[in-house]
Amino acid sequence: MRPARGFTLVSAVFLVVILSAIAAYALSVATLQQHASALDVAGSRALFAARAGTEWGAYQALRLDACAASATLDFSGTPLAPLSVSVRCARRTADEAGTTRKFDSIVALACNEPPCPNAAAGANYVERQLTVVVEH
């Protein structure tokens, strides 16, 4: 009777295939986590840019008494590049016990692929919008 041969080879091939599948799965999970982390950082940067847009609009309204219907802020050359912010302002007046008050509604929309909002955005597109109402 001859001893069985080749059984170890089949086991080794099976083990290599299983380990390769596990390594490919781990690599894909790591890649997805890295992509999600990068989008999270980009979203935070867009939020800071939108906040800068609302502060710019509030300065225009409170200090300069100007409420521009639409303006675009470009952050090229700053740490917030390539973000762009679209700032809109709408003014309303109200009578409060015989005193006229002005209310400016400032909407800042920041995105990393201008123009904001971008209808043909890519997979890495992030957008944040903030609204502020100031009274003066």
pLDDT tens, residue by residue, 96-123: 899 999 999 999 999 998 888 888 888 8
Both tokens of residue 65? Answer: 């008494």
Cα separation of 82 and 114, whole Å? 9
Cβ burial 61-88 (10 Å sphere, 16+ → b, else e):
beeeeebeeebebebeeeebeebbbbbb
Q: Which of 93, 91, 102, 100 is nearest to 68 (CA)?
A: 91
Cα 8–Cα 11–Cα 17 angle in degrees, nearest 5? 140
Does this model's pTM top 0.85? My answer is no
pLDDT in tens, 44-75: 999 999 999 999 999 999 999 998 889 999 88
Where are the domains positioned within the chain?
Answer: 10-135
